[in-house]
Amino acid sequence: MIERYSLPGMSKIWTDENRFQKMLDVEIAACEALNKLGEVPTLALKKIKEKAGFNAKRIKEIESTVKHDVIAFLTSVAENVGKESTYIHKGLTSSDVLDTALALQLRQASDILIDDLERFSKIIRKQAKKYEDTIMIGRTHGIHAEPITFGFKLAGWYTEVLRDIERMKSAKENISYGKISGAVGTYAHLSPEVEKYVMGKVELKPEPVSTQIVPRDRHAQFLSTLAIIAATLERFATEIRSLQRTEVSELEEPFTKGQKGSSAMPHKRNPVTCEQMCGLARIIRGNAMVSIENVALWNERDISHSSAERIILPDSTILLNYMLNKMCYVIENFNVNAENMKRNLSITNNAIFSQRLLLAIVKKGYLREEAYPAVQEVTHNNFKDISPLKKYLKESEIKDCLDIKYYVRRVKGILKRAGI
């Protein structure tokens, strides 16, 4: 991922140094397991643990010749260890190390994303409470529907993020599987006890039935979860963009001192961060599709998934980490124009109360089919002539139906149920 969209903590997980260290952790744990089974001498294990190391630059040099990244890695380690390196990678296949190390990286990435989501949820919850009484119009199809509060809108965002947290925790659980089962996954040259020990040491679970790789449906679920979370952020960003339009002007993303909106028009204050979120969400969705295509591999394995995963897994986790941090900032610092929210409520001159009027007439015993055209006529003429309603309702009853505080009272209970 380009530096523009990368934050240090997440980016560090995907460095060569971290990847090779995770691979080395797996190899040493396997040596420990084999030592317990009497297949690696104790003195050799001691030497391996003392001397085992790698040089990322040297690994690349070796790989340029051997054209195999794991062999290059093992050769670099062997150069540090010496003759005892003969016990390293004994009975293992490359994917034992690669897939188990990858699971460790994805678990690290998951922890960061879960922390981001939990912080995000707290910010939204705080803002929902702050604006629980801030009345605004609810819209469907972009058209005025009925009154809501801004806090109610944010409550919906809050509960969606809570679901995203659970999705992310489930994805972390599902991806935390490794394998030390050898070529084609049959344990032909290893005891299952080696896998059991290694997975316990690195705090992963053993894949119940692996092929030569950990099946890629796990990775597809992981990327799909990231895509859903990105879609959540896109939904919020799209709503902010919609409400920031000049003719609406109810909500605005932060615009900092010294910021410029246009190279040509000094008056512009554009929702550029939210637009950025929408663009980046498309990338993560596309990457999720690639992960789904990676599920179908030839026989017990091929490596058509490998090249794609070197891009889509780092890029998607790094992007989502960036997006969550950006949206935390946006939601925490957005500008709420409560006066414009109030002003926009009056644009239709009470037409937004049509359903209350309709139900009040029906409650009196009139047929809905009779009442609907009467209310429609009044609302379509912007309440310029309410005489069609007087056949069904008294002036006081019509006035009661136009009470906007009624809607505030109704949504307060929903916020309370959402834990706000």
- Kindly report the number of other CB atoms within 10 A of residue 111's CB atom: 14
Catalytic: which of 64, 141, 307, 387? 141
Residue 141 known to be catalytic: yes
Catalytic: which of 68, 170, 262, 346? 262
Give, in order, the Cα–Cα distances in Å from 135 to each of 4, 96, 150, 233: 38, 58, 6, 24
3-state secondary structure of 145: strand
Report the candidate in 317, 290, 314 with the shortest Cα–Cα distance to residue 216. Answer: 290
The H or E element that residue 348 is part of is none
DSSP 270: -
| Cα–Cα distance measured from residue 303 to residue 311, given in angstroms and rounded to the nearest whole number | 14
Backbone angles phi, psi at 67, to 5 degrees: 60, 35
H-helix segments, 346-394: 354-363, 368-380, 387-390
| Cα–Cα distance measured from residue 52 to residue 44, given in angstroms and rounded to the nearest whole number | 11
Tokens of 348: 């239709």
Cβ-in-10-Å burial (0-12, 13-18, 19+) of 126 comes to: middle
Report the candidate in 330, 336, 200, 347 with the shortest Cα–Cα distance to residue 275. Answer: 330
Residue 170 known to be catalytic: no
Helices 150-175 and 217-244 meet at what angle, rounded to 10? Answer: 160
* Paired sense of beta strands 335-336 and 251-252, if any: antiparallel
Asked if residue 237 lies in contact with residue 211, where contact means CB atoms within 8 angstroms, the answer is no
| Cα–Cα distance measured from residue 321 to residue 325, given in angstroms and rounded to the nearest whole number | 6
DSSP 144: E
Asked if residue 89 lies in contact with residue 74, where contact means CB atoms within 8 angstroms, the answer is yes
Q: Which residues are catalytically annotated?
A: 141, 262
